[in-house]
Structure 1
Amino acid sequence: MEELSSSRYINLFTDFGFKRIFGTERNQDLLLDFLNAILEREQDPLVKIEYKDKEQVGRDADERRAVFDLYCENEKGERFIIELQKVLQQHFKDRNLYYATFALQEQAQKGKAWDYALQPVYSIALMNFVFEEAYPDQVISRVEPRERSTNRLFHDKLFFVYVEMPKFKKKFSELAGNLERWLYVFQNMHRLDKAPEEIRKGVF
């Protein structure tokens, strides 16, 4: 059960707050702005998305299902999975990979010849724990399939973004850019008595 709060502003790092703000059609502009920031889509910004069923069933009754926090698709067919993870879970990276396969498998075209062409899948995890204490300044890890010897991108259809929120320690006066403002909001919005003017502008 989520803790009740007397805060003026909603806590985005709760299941209720996260889905209330990002999981409704009327707030689609907020989700679009966040996705464009976290995915660095300045050159190819997302302009419209469709919310999809968050529960994905297996291929048969015995196969495990996947339940996403948020799952959406844009007009190009690109899929976006957004997960909020408050506590460290054993094999979390493996679970994240397993969940992403559902967004790939559902693209299979049934009943006709299919050439296996896929649209990209982006899996974004906002975490209230850290993976690597050895890299205290690396808040965001962007993971993609690369060829080891040349470091070139080998495949452009599966991407992971991990945000280790405890590593983000900037004060409001130190924020630079829209992405850092979003991270600040995730961490601190519920603690504020009044939202700073810079945050209240635009989508905020």
Structure 2
Amino acid sequence: MGKYLNPFTDFGFKKLFGSEPNKDLLINFLNQLLPKHHQIKDLTFTNNERLGATADARNAVFDLFCISKTGERFIVEMQKAKQNYFKERSVFYATFPIHEQAERGEKWNFKLDAVYLIGVLDFVFADNKDDQEMCHFVQLKDQSNRVFYDKLTLIYLEMPKFTKTEAELKTPFDKWLYVLRHLPELQKRPAKLQERVFGKLFKQAEIGNFNREERLQYEASVMAYRDMKNVIDTAAADGEIKGLARGRAEGREEGREEGREEGREEGREEGREEGALNKAKDIARKLLKKKTPLADIADLTGLSKDEIKSLSVKAAT
């Protein structure tokens, strides 16, 4: 175990950004992403669980949810591993802070405060893999590419694409990305990160400063993180191999080079689509064996808690 915590673990992320004493770290980080008119001076953490509108509707559990003094809502998600339909999940999550602004009675004029969802991703979206841009700002636009509604913004940071060295760091945003990307590997605070906010961050992130309970919680969080990464990486590799094999088989049956190439591509695509649900269930079963919390399995696989519970019941019978 290194000197500093891994911010992509549940404990690490919430230790640095999810507590009242450290909210200045979160404010500083978010302000690097936000436009000037939505810069945060102060914020309040709120309950991170949102209930569905009806008893059978799906709930949402955010990593962090907070509201600024001027009313803007912020959902912050640290996504550890690639997940099917993560973009859809983001949109679904963003509907909760919109809907809860509705005032009771007939006098409400439908005025809404801005909602931001920030996803810090330890992976790259499949359709962005050839794109060098690592920071994506998403808003609702019309057919002329003009912003139609500017009060809902989804921001995705694809962290594996950040490759700047310490010597190349120029802006506060660069420095934040560098810290998030490399914190567990560092043995001391880099010379380029001498701002006060980073001094506090490194002090809070130093594992040697944890009390016994914090250390135990962090060690458990690291184990869960490694287990999930291992399960996901193994499943992804297995899926690629099966898809490639199927594509080659179809290509050989065509008997032409064109057919072989199409077969390979179609086989990979069909293998991904047809196997997505089964792969999610396989991952869920493996994580259940490792006693991973249901909420974490649901976030990772996209399955509902009821679907996961049914897998657990079937495994026990």
Question: TM-score, normalization: structure 1?
Answer: 0.92
Q: Give, in whole Å, the separation in 1 of the partners of 2:183 and 2:83.
A: 25
Map of 1:93 onto structure 2: 87
Residue 108 of structure 1, aligned match among 90, 102, 107 = 102
Give the match for residue 3 of structure 1.
none
Could you tell me which residue of structure 2 aligns to residue 164 of structure 1?
Answer: 158
The aligned amino acid for 1:196 is P
Q: Quick one: which of 178, 184, 188 aligns to 2:178?
A: 184
For residues 106 and 189 of structure 2, the distance between their equivalents in structure 1, rounded to whole angstroms, comes to: 53
After superposition, the C-alpha distances for 1:4-30 in whole angstroms (9 at most, x for unaligned) are xx2111211211100011001111110
Distance of aligned partners of 1:94 and 1:44 in 2 relative to their CA distance in 1, 3 Å threshold: closer
CA contact (8 A) 1:189 1:195 kept: no
| Deviation string, structure 1 residues 94-142 (Cα, Å, up to 9, x no partner) | 010000000100101124521111001000001111111120x201000
Give, in whole Å, the separation in 1 of the partners of 2:45 and 2:185.
Answer: 29
- The residue number in structure 2 matching 1:146 is 141
What amino acid is the match of 2:71?
A: G
Bigger mean CA deviation after superposition, 44-53 or 25-34: 44-53
5+ residue gaps, structure 1, are 1-5
CA contact (8 A) 2:166 2:192 kept: no
What's 2:41 paired with? 47
Give deviations 1:54-78, integer Å, cap 9, x for gaps. Answer: 0000111100000000000011111
| 1:195 corresponding residue in structure 2 | 189
How far apart are the structure 1 equivalents of 2:8 and 2:105?
Answer: 42
Q: Which has the higher contact order (CA 8 A, sep 6+)?
A: 1
RMSD, aligned CA: 1.2
User: CA–CA distance in 2 between the matches of 1:13 and 1:90?
Assistant: 19
Contact 1:7 1:191 (8 Å CA) reproduced: yes
Shift of 1:145: 1.0
| Matched positions, count | 196
Runs of 4+ in 1 over 6 A off after TM superposition: none
After superposition, residues 6-155 of structure 1 pair within 5 angstroms as 6-39=1-34, 41-42=35-36, 44-131=38-125, 132-135=128-131, 137-149=132-144, 151-155=145-149
TM-score (norm 2): 0.60
Distance 1:200 1:21 in 2: 18
SS in 1 for 2:90: helix
Of Structure 1 and Structure 2, the greater helix share is in 2
- The percentage of aligned residue pairs carrying the same residue is 43
8 Å CA contact retained: 1:69, 1:83: yes
